[in-house]
């Protein structure tokens, strides 16, 4: 099965969706979409460094994202600029530096479209191993900090008063987000990574009865978007990464309809008929 490029793409996309769903819930709850964009732009710099240093692209992107996260925390502690200004500064600076570095590296033929919008159809067995290995680390880390991170999302002061170390949980969350950005780069590209984090989580928010249920539903929505996007890409000959995001967007549009109310109504009618 792994000898077929489309099967590899499906397996890789499903692996990313499984991890992006729960993490994306916290991105939505904590209103950190701009932070995801910042790390995604840093991915471009990571790609340039990977070719310059001749190292694995995923590792280089993860390293660049982690460094940018640490830089954001250091600058935010100084308190000279608000967080949104710092995110904008770091986001566009990382993107510009990455593009300038690529321009200087004339001996390398960059697939800029693949970097920006993903190239999931070219994933290898090594890419799949990295996605599932990195995904397992992310899920384990998220489970580890779930209670403290969720408490900090509700009220940072209350979490601190209960001894849950909200600052440490936020730091780990940033590192986990950096890993997801790195492993998702080849699936949807630097410009669309944040969409895979946000849209499935936003689509299932109204349908979920608890935070844990929303995390599971977000993963399922991401998987549906990946499968539908890839098959529509194959059928209509459209770019795979953007097709996945369009499929996720359609799921969000469907979620705006009163699906939950309709399900309850049909269940009540069936019980009445019995």
pLDDT in tens, 136-149: 999 999 999 999 99
Q: Which tokens belong to 63?
A: 């390293």
Q: Which tokens belong to 38?
A: 């910042």
| Predicted local confidence at residue 136, as pLDDT | 95
| Predicted local confidence at residue 111, as pLDDT | 79
Band of residue 207 on the pLDDT scale cut at 50, 70, 90? confident
pLDDT tens per residue across span 221-245 = 999 999 999 999 989 989 998 999 9
Domain 5-273 class in CATH: mainly alpha
Largest alpha-carbon pair distance within the chain? 73
| Predicted local confidence at residue 94, as pLDDT | 86
Query: Alpha carbon of 113 to those of 13, 105, 109, 117, 183: distances in Å?
Result: 18, 17, 12, 6, 17
| Predicted local confidence at residue 89, as pLDDT | 86
SS (H, E, C) 132-174: HHHHHHHHHHHHHHHHHHHHHHHCHHHHHHCCCCHHHHHHHHH
pLDDT tens per residue across span 155-180 = 888 778 777 788 888 889 989 999 99
pLDDT tens per residue across span 252-262 = 999 888 765 66
Query: Alpha carbon of 98 to those of 33, 41, 82, 84: distances in Å?
Result: 21, 8, 24, 21
Residue 206 has pLDDT above 70, yes or no: yes
| Predicted local confidence at residue 188, as pLDDT | 86
Separation of alpha carbons 130 and 126, rounded Å: 6
Instruction: Please provide the size of the chain in residues.
Output: 274
Q: Which tokens belong to 202?
A: 């936003």
pLDDT tens per residue across span 46-102 = 888 888 888 888 888 888 888 888 888 888 777 677 777 888 888 888 888 888 888
Q: Which tokens belong to 172?
A: 């780990």
The two counts, helices (H) then strands (E), for the chain are 12, 0
| Predicted local confidence at residue 273, as pLDDT | 47
The distance from CA 61 to its chain's CA centroid, rounded to whole angstroms, is 14
Place of tokens 């200087």: 104
| Predicted local confidence at residue 262, as pLDDT | 61
| Predicted local confidence at residue 267, as pLDDT | 59
Whether the Cβ atoms of residue 230 and residue 47 lie closer than 8 Å to each other: no
| Predicted local confidence at residue 3, as pLDDT | 55
The pTM of this model reads 0.86
Residue 249 has pLDDT above 50, yes or no: yes
pLDDT tens per residue across span 86-121 = 888 888 888 888 888 888 888 778 777 888 888 888
Burial 10-26 (b: 16+ CB within 10 A, else e): bbbbbbbbbbbbbbbbb
What 3-state class would DSSP assign to 209? Answer: coil
Residue 250 has pLDDT above 60, yes or no: yes
């Amino acid at each position: 099965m792994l000898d077929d490029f489309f099967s590899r793409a499906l397996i890789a996309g499903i692996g990313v969706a499984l991890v992006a769903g729960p993490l994306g819930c916290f991105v939505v709850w904590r209103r950190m979409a701009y932070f995801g964009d910042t790390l995604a732009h840093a991915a471009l710099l990571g790609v340039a460094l990977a070719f310059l240093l001749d190292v694995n692209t995923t590792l280089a992107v993860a390293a660049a994202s982690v460094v940018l996260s640490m830089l954001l925390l250091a600058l935010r502690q100084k308190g000279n600029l608000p967080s949104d200004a710092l995110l904008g500064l770091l986001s566009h600076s990382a993107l510009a530096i990455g593009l300038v570095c690529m321009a200087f590296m004339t001996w390398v033929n960059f697939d800029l479209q693949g970097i920006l919008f993903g190239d999931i159809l070219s994933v290898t067995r090594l890419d799949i191993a990295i996605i599932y290995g990195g995904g397992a680390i992310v899920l384990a880390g998220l489970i580890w900090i779930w209670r403290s991170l969720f408490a900090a999302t509700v009220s940072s002061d209350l979490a601190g008063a209960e001894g849950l170390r909200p600052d440490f949980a936020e730091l780990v969350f940033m590192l986990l987000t950096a890993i997801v950005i790195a492993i998702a780069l080849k699936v949807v590209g630097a410009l669309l990574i944040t969409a895979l984090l946000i849209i499935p989580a936003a689509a299932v928010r109204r349908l979920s009865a608890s935070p844990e249920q929303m995390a599971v539903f977000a993963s399922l929505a991401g998987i549906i978007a990946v499968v539908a996007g890839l098959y529509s890409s194959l059928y209509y000959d459209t770019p795979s990464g953007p097709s996945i995001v369009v499929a996720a967007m359609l799921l969000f549009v469907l979620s705006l309809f009163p699906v939950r109310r309709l399900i309850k109504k049909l269940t009540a009618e069936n019980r009445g008929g019995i």
